[in-house]
Amino acid sequence: MSNNKTDIERYIDSAKPFARPILKYLREIVISECPDIDEKLKWSVPNFIYRDNIICNMAAFNEHCSFGFWLSSQMNDPEKILIEKEKRGGLGNLGKIRSLKDLPPKSVLKKYIRQAINLVDDGAKLKRKNTDPSRSKTVISADLNKALKINEIAKRNFLKFPPGQKNEYHEWINDAKTEITRTKRLANAIEWIIQGKPRNWKYMKKFQND
């Protein structure tokens, strides 16, 4: 029977033991609200697709799981479960999920999933910021640029990154509130870039065992 498992089921089976019941629970709730939902691995994580539109997705990492709504920016949040990016400390909208206790009640999750489905029925699409030049142009902080110049391996690897990943390093370093934090982030950045890792490598499946 194992050969007949879907990509999603194999993803769940390969997750850490703590993550499996969380992923199974979330999957069951999504399917219960939309039995004909399509399931696909996109960006190496499970995505739930309705009428060719992503409704939500989930992922498992070494110490937590995540769950997010594709159109979260257009959703109402009466239960205040959609955590702001600056506060959640992880991917998705529900923060770092380490156990079933970290999830909202099932009735609330169902209500939000139904809302996401209704958005697609109403023709809602993900709003892309085409006017933001920082996503297509590369911006490098002076400190990072200087550090790259004196490390040939880091410089070579950094040049291979797409503009978005280069800018993520720039923004992370520039957002530091103190000089100590800035120096620490710069050191971490060079260490990761030498290894060929983008800024958010911790959330990418191919780097999760590092």
The confidence band for 132, taking pLDDT boundaries of 50, 70 and 90, is: very low
Report the DSSP beta bridge partners of residue 48.
Answer: 39, 56
β-sheet bridge partners, residue 40: 47
- The pTM score is 0.62
What are the start-end ranges of the E strands in the chain?
A: 38-42, 45-50, 53-60, 65-69
Helices marked H in 15-137: 19-33, 85-88, 106-121
Q: Is the pLDDT of residue 202 over 50?
A: yes
Note the pLDDT tens digit of each residue in 40-96.
998 889 999 999 999 999 999 989 999 999 999 899 999 999 987 656 666 789 989
Tens of pLDDT, residues 81-115: 998 765 666 678 998 999 999 999 999 999 999 99
Quote the pLDDT of residue 67: 95
Which residue ranges form the domains of the chain, and what is each CATH number?
Answer: 7-121 (3.90.1150.200), 133-207 (no CATH)
